[in-house]
Amino acid sequence: MIGLSPGLRDALQNWLDRLSALDGASAHTLDAYRQDVAGFLSFLAGHHGGSAGVQQLGAITQSDMRAWMAAARGDGLGARSLARKLSAVKSFARWMAEREGFDISAILAARPPKYSRSLPRPLCAESAFDMIETVPLQTRADWTGLRDAAVVTLLYGCGLRISEALGLTGRDAPLGDSLRIRGKGGRERLVPVLPAARASVAAYLRACPHHRVPDAPLFRGVRGGPLNRRHIARVMEAVRLQLGLPASATPHALRHSFATHLLAAGGDLRAIQELLGHASLASTQVYTAVDASRLMDIYDAAHPRARV
């Protein structure tokens, strides 16, 4: 953190500690926030030819904000990434303003660049089923094939993130009617477990050569350690090529498919938000755009007037 006063360094660390303790932010999120805010403060230090301190933060002008954003775009930073950095800077500035009592209106007035939100790219139901059926054929040992099938079944059948599926432990087995999942930000949710998912996990556990230990990962690697998420990604990549599926057919696409297929079947948006563990309904509403886009594709392909 070049050009930052000791007081500002301490303030930044205290803010991160608060995010960790009260908001349950993950280590990855905290590291991203640290880099975003420290980069902004370091820019200010260089921009003004000195070191950035607590009082300098309260003297930031709109011109300073425009200069920082222009420099970031000049370095090739995309609109989405800059919007994320600006959000982190505003959050830190609000916290500092509450502590120090200075005016941060210039920071809060800065508008993020416009960008088009990319839509999730789910698989159709048939492709998701084909994926699950083909995954266990990619490994030599029967038990590892059953393991990989159980993981992808949980991704699609329960809408889990890959980190959430691989974060299950021996205490979670045998699976019941629901799973208590701790997701992003430490938020807990109850997720119903389909009979097919319970059966798939049970088949894996019966075949697994490693003893189930309450505090050990449920899904084990060949040597008994935790299963690496990259393994599931590689297996799905191989299946994707075999089935002729697009490059977007990743582990996370199965979670997208879970949400999209529920919505298409008439699922309530609020209920889907709870099942996915989204903090904001806005994160879930993106699937309504996906469903509308799918309907338009069907219309364009099938409606007689669309082909005139």
Catalytic residue set: 161, 184, 252, 255, 278, 287
How distant, in Å, are the alpha carbons of 19, 122, 281, 305 from that of 26?
9, 26, 21, 51
What phi, psi does 46 have (nearest 5°)? -70, -35
Give residues with Cβ within 8 angstroms of 220, minimum separation 6.
147, 208, 210, 226, 227
β-bridge mates for residue 181, sequence order: 189
What is the signed CA dihedral for 300, 272, 276, 178, rounded to 10 degrees? -130
Q: How far apart are CA 76 and CA 165, in angstroms?
A: 35
Return the residue matching tokens 């309904």. 281
Give residues with Cβ within 8 angstroms of 290, minimum separation 6.
119, 120, 122, 256, 260
Please, what's the largest Cα pairwise distance for the chain? 70
Q: How far apart are CA 155 and CA 259, in angstroms?
A: 11
Q: How far apart are CA 5 and CA 52, in angstroms?
A: 6
Q: How far apart are CA 131 and CA 166, in angstroms?
A: 19
β-bridge mates for residue 180, sequence order: 190
Tally Cβ neighbours within 10 Å of residue 80.
14
